[in-house]
Structure 1
C-alpha cells in the first residue's frame, strides 16, 4: 500500500449554506422576471413584434396612405437611427417620426429652430400643443397617421411612434428606436399608463404646419 493512501483525507466542506443561498438568489431572479413579465407593456418585450397590418387604402386619405407606405418601406429596410437624424448619433424615435412626416408631405416645424426635425419627445408634444392639435388620452380615438406620445413611465421612457391602424380601442403602431429597431406593435391606449396623448396630423390639408 502506498504512503499517500494512508494519509488522512481532509474532511469535506459543507456546501449546504452555499446551496441554500444560491437557491434564494434563483427564486428572487425568477420572481423579478415574473413581475416584469406582468407589468411591462407587451409592446416592449423584444420578441413581441407584430406583423405589418394589411390596411384598406380605400378608407384613408392620400396623406394617410403615404404615411403608411413609408412606414411599411422603412420597417422592411431597417435603416440605422442616424439615417433619420441627419447623421447625429442620438435617441431617434422622434427623429424617425419627423422624417416620416416630412417625406409624407406633412413636415413638422421645430418650435425652437423652425427645422423639420424635432429630436425630443417633449418638444414634439410642445409642437402639437402650440399647433392646437394635441389630444390628451381619454375620449379621443386616434386615426391612422396620428403620432402617439408616451411619458417617462413607459418602459422606454419618453417615446413616440405612429398609428397605422385602429380597431375599436386598440391601435397598431410603428416606431423607431424600439429596442434599437423599427417595430410594429399593438397598443391598448386606454389601459397603457405610459400614453400621454396623440399628435393629430392635419391629414386633409396634407401639411403639418
Structure 2
C-alpha cells in the first residue's frame, strides 16, 4: 500500500516552510473538523473523521524536522526512475498545464464605483501596494501580489485583502492580519461586503463595491475548484 503524501493532504509544497505548514493545518482542521458535520449522517461524520485523522498525521510528521526528513527520503525513493526523453506524441498527449491565478483573473473588469478599490496585477498602484505590504504583507514581495483590495477611506491600503498565487490574507482596522493558504481552499465568496472562506467568516469590508467583490471571488473560486 502506497504511503499517503502528507504535503498533498495539507495542500502545501514539499519545500514549504514551517509557518506555511502550520497555516495549512489550521485551514484543513477548520475544513474537516467532525464537529462541523455533527448534524449530518453517519457517512458524513465518518468521512470528516477520516480526513481529520489524515490531516493530524500529516501535520505531526511535517512539523517535526526528523520525521519530515525521513518522509522526504521515503517519497524520493518511491518515485519512478526517469524514463528518459519523451516523444513528441507523448508530450502532445499530456494535459495542458494549469493556469496561474494571475492568468485566470486576466482581463477581469470592475466598476470600481463609487471608489476604485479592487485591483488585479499588473494594474495595482504601487503606492497602495507598498502601503499594504508595509501593514500586513510580511514575507511577501511586491511581485507576489495578484490582487489588492483597499478597504481604507483615504486609499492608503493599510487595511483590506491581498491575494497571491498561494495565499489570501486580510487586515481589518485594529485587528491582526489573518492568512489562509489557497491550496487548502475551494471556495471564497462575497456576500455583500462580507467575505467568507469555505463558508466561514473571513473579513467584512466597508469601502469596495459589493458587485466587484462578487465578481472577483466568483473568478477566484472557479480557479480554486479547477486546481485544488
Greater helix share, structure number: 2
> More relative contact order in 1 or in 2 (CA 8 Å, sep 6+)?
1
Larger radius of gyration: 1
TM normalised by structure 1 equals: 0.32
